[in-house]
Amino acid sequence: MGAGVLRLISGVGAKGPACFLLEAAGKRIMLDLGEGPPPGLLPDVADLGTIDALVLSHGHKDHVGGLRLLQRLGTPPVYATDIVARSLPQGFELRPLPLGGLGEVLGIGVATGRNGHAPGGVWLHFAIGGGVLYTGDWSVESGLYDYDPPAQSASVALLDCSYGAYQKSLGECWNALAPLVGRGPLLLPVPADGRGPEIALEVLRHGCTDIFFDEAMSKAVRQMGGTARASARVDIDEDLQALSAAAKPISAPRGVMFAASADGTSGASKNLLERWEHESEPAIVFTGYRAPDTPADRLIKSGRAHFLRWNVHPRLSDVAALVKTVKPRAVIPAFCDRSQLPDLTRALAPAPVTMDPVVEL
Ligand SMILES: [Zn+2]
């Protein structure tokens, strides 16, 4: 008998909402409960019965957007860091997770560290069996969000591998984007609580102050210098202040404009894309995952918009380095397609890589 099992409800084998279930020490602990991609897609929890707790890695929709399913799961308490908890809807029994250090979930020890990906976001290492590491989404490259590398070994590692075998650096991403930043009016539909402020900081650091924000971006940048400061890199205050001072509201096509949401399905970017889809200006660049049947998908297909990835997940070499440190006897790559399995298996050897729906702990 092992220490328990990890059930991969959703998010492994195909891009989809995050939802996993740890069963150990007589407890059933859900890790994340997302919605999409694509928008509207929820994990199938119909036959799961009740769970004892939900633990949230960070506040992005594909990790927390399924909270309305909690009633069907026995309305358990929700564990989240303070920064993530503040962004959640009311009506849940919230319990604390540290942003870094040691805590507990239903009496089970958990170590956390910042994930370099989102305000309040953490990876989680549970003291179950030889250790269970769940990274949620993570990145080692962010110029805004700080990252604390997991150092403890874990026998099972459930790792964000959103980019599969992709290997380009953030520097290369900037080199691709830079010519468009200098050329004329540019609209970047972005998540305000993710890569939006990161890209804006990079634009500013390269000397461009002709920057325009929607309300969501203005608020997010203020929060990074205020209530979410603990998730940001140490030396960031001056840059954040300069960015807030430079950014003006979006009106006409001008400078570099940042607006949420990332795929244009909601928020200011939805309206701006409707307004400018059939105009020659501004240039439009999408930088994140492109779900089918979204304005992002439509405008890229028609040639009106470009796609240039901005890294917010690990490259293959980042995943390989983490696996070397953690030395798991099972690696579960999450948030990528099953077709990536052979490449990941080769790159992460000798660690066994699996996408089986139930993994022994
Ligand atoms: Zn995320």
pLDDT, tens digit, 9 for 90 and up, residues 159-199: 999 999 999 999 999 999 999 998 989 999 999 999 999 99
Average pLDDT over the chain reads 97
- Number of domains comprising the chain: 2
- In this structure, the answer to whether residues 224 and 248 fall within a common structural domain is yes
- In this structure, the answer to whether residues 113 and 191 fall within a common structural domain is no
Scanning 169-279, the segments in alpha helix (DSSP H) are 170-183, 195-205, 215-225, 237-246, 267-276
- In this structure, the answer to whether residues 212 and 65 fall within a common structural domain is no
CATH number at residue 38: 3.60.15.10
Q: Which of 307, 323, 344 is the last residue of a domain?
A: 307
Residues 4-8, mean pLDDT to the nearest whole number: 98
- Give the bridge partners for 122, in sequence order: 114
Separation between Cα atoms, residue 107 and residue 327, nearest integer Å: 25
The model's confidence at residue 15, banded by pLDDT at 50, 70 and 90, is confident
- In this structure, the answer to whether residues 57 and 157 fall within a common structural domain is yes
Separation between Cα atoms, residue 135 and residue 112, nearest integer Å: 9
Ligand 1 centroid from CA 137, angstroms: 5
Ligand 1 centroid from CA 312, angstroms: 8
Separation between Cα atoms, residue 73 and residue 54, nearest integer Å: 10
Q: Which of 265, 288, 307 is the last residue of a domain?
A: 307
User: What are the φ and ψ backbone dihedral angles of 21, each rounded to 5 degrees?
Assistant: -130, 120
Ligand 1 centroid from CA 34, angstroms: 10
Give the pLDDT confidence of 246-276 residue by residue, as tens digits: 999 999 999 999 999 999 999 999 999 999 9
Q: Which of 48-57, 106-115, 199-208, 289-298 bottoms out in mean pLDDT, i.e. has the lowest?
A: 289-298
Residues 209-214, mean pLDDT to the nearest whole number: 98
CA proximity to 210, closest of 255, 249, 160: 255
Query: What is the residue range of 262's domain?
Result: 170-307
pLDDT score for 1: 58
Q: Is the CB of residue 299 less than 8 Å from the CB of residue 284? A: yes
Ligand 1 centroid from CA 130, angstroms: 27
Ligand 1 centroid from CA 1, angstroms: 34
Give the pLDDT confidence of 53-94 residue by residue, as tens digits: 999 999 999 999 999 999 999 999 999 999 999 999 999 999
Ligand 1 centroid from CA 164, angstroms: 16
Ligand 1 centroid from CA 82, angstroms: 17
pLDDT score for 251: 94
Ligand 1 centroid from CA 153, angstroms: 24
Ligand 1 centroid from CA 195, angstroms: 10
Separation between Cα atoms, residue 68 and residue 222, nearest integer Å: 29
Cis peptide before 197 (omega within 30 of 0): no
Identify residues whose C-beta is under 5 A from ligand 1, the ion.
60, 137
Residues 14-41, mean pLDDT to the nearest whole number: 95
The model's confidence at residue 19, banded by pLDDT at 50, 70 and 90, is very high
- In this structure, the answer to whether residues 206 and 150 fall within a common structural domain is no
Ligand 1 centroid from CA 57, angstroms: 9
- In this structure, the answer to whether residues 204 and 267 fall within a common structural domain is yes
Give the pLDDT confidence of 139-150 residue by residue, as tens digits: 999 999 999 999
CATH number at residue 238: 3.40.50.10890
CA proximity to 345, closest of 326, 329, 331: 331
Cα–Cα separations (whole angstroms), residue 237 to 122, 226, 232, 288: 21, 10, 9, 26
- In this structure, the answer to whether residues 73 and 118 fall within a common structural domain is yes
Ligand 1 centroid from CA 186, angstroms: 24
More confident residue, 228 or 39: 228
* Res. 42: pLDDT tops 80: yes
Residues 226-243, mean pLDDT to the nearest whole number: 97
pLDDT score for 11: 98
- In this structure, the answer to whether residues 25 and 136 fall within a common structural domain is yes
CA proximity to 190, closest of 112, 288, 121: 288
- In this structure, the answer to whether residues 184 and 108 fall within a common structural domain is no
- In this structure, the answer to whether residues 142 and 14 fall within a common structural domain is yes
- In this structure, the answer to whether residues 156 and 241 fall within a common structural domain is no
pLDDT score for 39: 87
Ligand 1 centroid from CA 281, angstroms: 30
- In this structure, the answer to whether residues 229 and 274 fall within a common structural domain is yes
